[in-house]
Structure 1
Amino acid sequence: PRAFRHLLTAFNKTHHNKLASLLSSGDNCIRVFTNGKASNQLTLEEEYPYDECWEVKKSNVTRHDWDFEHVYKMGSKPKGLALIINIRSYVNEIHEVRKGSEDDVNRLTSILEQLDYKVTVYHDLKKQGILDAVTKFAKDDEHWQCHSCIVFVMSHGIDNWYTQLTHTVNIAAYDGQNVNSLEIIY
């Protein structure tokens, strides 16, 4: 819920008010799914078939008197580096398998590559593997030549009093250990 509010705020601050309004109105674009289905609506699988590739349509962006001091440069080649860590399954089946997550990885990779990002992907890493992959990514010398980076860690999240208190997220690794989002950031 907070993430969605922050997204709407970001859209409004960058003069994408129509998009923010469209998303917040709920008309024809936001579908609430309960157990994968909503009345008279397509299932997620029907709406987004696993074999479907998404194409990024690039166009010239109309600038609205942006405060250029706060706008990132995006002219490097590649535009940036992207790291995707996908935890699909878990040792001893301690968590439910995240079916379809490999399709999410394929779509993300495709979209990021179309946006001229160099993408690195890891699957089913243990806690230490996640931390090592993030550290290796952070130390990549190519960051100096790029204008941005994106990190995705896709897994089950573990919600408890600590994460609510610190506004962090515990992420379930393949081996069942949790990685706190602060461990990834620092």
Structure 2
Amino acid sequence: MSKADEYPYPEDEFDVPADPDAPRGVHRAPRSAWSRWWPFVAVLVLAPVLAYGAVTVWGMLNEPGSSDPGASTADEVPGDTTDDGATDDGTGEQPAEGEGTPTEPDAAPAPQPVLSTPVVVLNAAGIAGLAGQQQEKLTGAGFTAVTTGNSEGDGLTGSTVFYASEDLKATADLVGQTLGIAAVTLSADDAPDGISVVLLTDPEA
């Protein structure tokens, strides 16, 4: 059966073609390979870009303090308004390093004994050779200017080491320790040349 036999209606002016040689019906040109594949290529290229952009935006929105005004104060302890180790003078400014806290000056070194200081040992005990014995002790301890003599020992109740000025106190203390004499006294009258030792008794007795 032909197509004309299947058509139940009679032909009219619309069934007659204006150009008998023109093709009848709808004819489409064949599709190219690129027109079939470009949607898949677009998906493969755009999907990673969109995913990266979404992750970046999400990370920026979730940074501390970016979207939550209270995020910066969430971990602060109520009532604690100072930093550890910081000082606040009420102006809100921290003192610069080396400022604000005065430092104490370094303590002066303690005076040291001067073994070349003149020392005279005076015998007021009436014991022969006593001054010479104490002289040997001082020389053995390192003193280099020790002499001997005699004294009446007026007004004294015990053997005494006299020194003429405060700068000689350390040296006078060493003399008293060497000879075993506890009384060490400042007196320029009794020790005009430096240090004088008045022996009323034998320190070793």
TM-score normalised according to structure 1 size: 0.24
The structure richer in helix per residue is 1
Say which structure, 1 or 2, has more relative contact order (CA 8 Å, 6+ apart).
Answer: 1
The structure richer in strand per residue is 1
TM-score normalised according to structure 2 size: 0.23
